[in-house]
Amino acid sequence: MQIELQRGAGRPVYLQIADQIGAAIEARRLAHGARLPAIRDLARRLQVHRDTVALAYEELAAAGRVESSVGRGTFVRAPGDPGPGGAPFEAAFSGLTESLLRFERARPRFGSADGAVPLHAIIPDPALYPVEGFRRALNRAFREHGADLLLYGDPQGHPRLREALASHLGGAGLEVGPGELLLCHGASQGISLALRLFAEPGDLIALEEPTYNNVLATVFGLGLRTAPVPMGEDGPDLAALERTLRRPEVKLLYTIPTFHNPMGLTTSLGHRRALLEVAARCGKPVVEDAYEMDLRFGERPVPPLAGLDASGLVVHLSSFSKSLFPGVRVGAIAARGRALDALLALKRATDHSDSMLLQAALARFLEEGHYERHLARLRRVLRSRCEALTGALEDALPEGARFTRPAGGYQVWVELPAGLDTSELLADAARAGVLFAPGSQFNHDGRPSCALRLSFAMADEAALRRGAQALARVVRERQRAAPAARIHI
């Protein structure tokens, strides 16, 4: 049979492969029992990543058209054939779960690109973790409180950490009391709680396009729908935002105004005030995700939306996962009045409490000044890495490409010349020794994108330059290549 891949056709490449193999099976061009090519071989012949072919085979297996056997390969299954051992039990999953599974299967996979420069993930560099300082804080907290820290704790979070965090947020322009904070299991749980606070299955939420890909997973998992608002050079388009928020079925706005993920932008003070005015006119709450707010390169932060909000419109999310290390699993939600009461009720219904041991240690870490000293070092490193990456991109990328220059955080957004689908570049980039996050995964509908996100979290300056040069070579080669690939199997 023949497989023809249409670059930029609007349908993911793995689904194009699955569609065409499935059609061949239906037409009996692939006989029952026929062995499909090995994943590695087909990927090489199609010039795609191995994970792209693996996803196609998984899609075919989920549809009951093929079966795989470790050590033997993947074979076409006869109609009605239950496979070896009889028909296995197949549970009927909920529609929400099936939607989430489809979203997860469409995520790019990076595990087979060993040795490549990791510009795809926003995970803090373990070499920068303050391990010894945090270990000492943990030991001191355990000595002081003992077994009490191993019990269920206050669902609102450790009181001492809420006090320390309130003081820290005040220095960033958000005046909040310890009683107005709810600690949670990282910003991820905070997002879920905040969306559930205002929306229920079937409701629409406004969010920026592009946006944080994991919030899209949360949206699908909660049965919500998206109302995307296009991003401009200074944040979401305010006219489009007002049109969206005036729709009665839209229940809230989710926004990342500081070091936006994936774009790296930080909105101006004027834009923030105007956004709050739009939300107030439309009577819609705002969920502000400030997960990287501590990672500014300069000394003067722009006040968060919650710090400018006098009416209680904004629910503010913060986290230590990016500024300290992911394993601490501590985030915070700042809210007022009934919103805080409702969030606490949702938190109680979700889990009893988080780790009081880790929260007590983190409280000491903040109180004793270790966190601020760690941030000072981390900001210097990130500024240097960002300058190395953006400098290399400026030198290496072809004409027509452009990229953002963030004032903090971990990410740079690159827009390549029109006509290039960055999800189709990923396999070539991995072979060339660099990984990136394709722009399609930040679109609410997963449509193809000529953009990509690069992270300077995990790589040093030399590796960042090497990765940028490798990426530029791949882009230039793809510009010269034919728009389609065709083979026979």
pLDDT digits (tens, 9 = 90+) for 211-244: 999 999 999 899 999 999 999 999 999 999 999 9
pLDDT in tens, 9-28: 567 788 889 899 988 888 88
pLDDT mean over 262-291? 97
The stretch 292-314 carries a mean pLDDT of 92
Q: The pTM is what?
A: 0.83
* 110-125 pLDDT, tens digit each: 555 567 899 999 999 9
* Beta-bridge mates of residue 229: 208
Residue 87 has pLDDT above 80, yes or no: no
Contact predicate 165/360, CB 8 Å: no
pLDDT, residue 486, reads 45
CATH architecture of 117-128+373-488: Alpha-Beta Complex (3.90)
Q: State the span(s) of the chain assigned CATH 3.90.1150.10.
A: 117-128+373-488
Q: Which of 17, 22, 18, 15 is nearest to 4 (CA)?
A: 17
Q: Is the pLDDT of residue 255 over 90?
A: yes
The per-residue pLDDT for 251 is 97
Residue 453: predicted pLDDT: 98
- Quote helix, strand, coil % in the chain, to nearest 5: 45, 15, 40
- What is the C-alpha separation between 334 and 307, in angstroms, rounded? 10
- What is the pLDDT at residue 70? 64
| Distance, CA of 442 to CA of 204 (rounded, Å) | 17
DSSP alpha helix (H) spans, 107-155: 131-145
Tokens of 384: 């240097």
113 token code pair: 């690109």
Rounded Cα–Cα distance for residues 290 and 303 (Å): 11
pLDDT at 10: 61
Q: Where in the chain is the domain with CATH 1.10.10.10?
A: 2-90
pLDDT in tens, 385-397: 999 999 999 999 9
Give 158-164's long-range contacts (Cβ < 8 A, gap of 24+): 158/183, 158/356, 158/359, 158/360, 158/363, 160/360, 160/363, 160/367, 161/330, 161/359, 161/360, 161/362, 161/363, 161/366, 162/332, 163/363, 164/362, 164/363, 164/366, 164/367
What is the separation of C-alpha 393 from the centre of its chain, rounded to a whole number of angstroms? 23
Mean pLDDT of 285-298: 95
Count of beta carbons in the 10 Å neighbourhood of residue 284 = 21
State the chain's maximal CA–CA distance in angstroms. Answer: 72
CATH of domain 2-90: 1.10.10.10
Check pLDDT > 50 for residue 342.
yes
- Indicate the average pLDDT of the chain: 90
174 contacts 166 by C-beta, under 8 angstroms: no
Architecture of domain 131-368: 3-Layer(aba) Sandwich (3.40)
